[in-house]
Amino acid sequence: MTEEHVLLYPDPRLRQKVEEVGALTNDEKGRVFRMLRLLYEQMGIGLAAPQIGWMKRLIVINVHPTHDPRHSMAVVNPRISEESQKKWTMREGCLSFPGIYGSVERPWAVKIEGQNLEGENMVFPVSGLAARCILHEVDHLDGVLFIDRMSAATMVAIRPKLKRLEQHFKRRGQA
């Protein structure tokens, strides 16, 4: 069993578009549960498989304020099939960007399609914070980061923090 950890910007794996998942093995299902544990440990609300170096189309989310495990969701091969015209802007963060936050505009509601851990098809609408979280995590599967969706002014404001993450990554010999 490997110990999972969140990859930090600018790890190049965060920019890769990842491949679809076939039927999950029991080991891979165990990895999904380790992703959820890591999500709770990091106090996040969503995590995409590439953020732990697992280059598959899989996300986990739990936007419940208490992180009650009954509200956890894993979606295999998620796809956004509809987006609302209504948009909203909110300050977002990301576990791969510790201490960095910025305003991002996203649709208020989406319809998501995918499979559960048993391979059964799911289609369901979500709105508000859950929709935002799913959109953020699905972006990760396509190599799109939340900083890519920020305004130029926000990018100027967070640039010093991004530089620190880049320097830390380089010092650790990961570049």
Q: Which residues are catalytic, by number?
A: 137
Q: Among candidates 100, 142, 150, which has minimal Cα distance to 14?
A: 142
Q: Which amino acid is at 73?
A: M
Residues written for the chain = 175
How far apart, in whole angstroms, are the C-alpha atoms of residue 53 and residue 148?
Answer: 20
Q: Answer yes or no: are the C-beta atoms of 162 and 104 closer than 8 Å.
A: no
How far apart, in whole angstroms, are the C-alpha atoms of residue 162 and residue 149?
Answer: 15
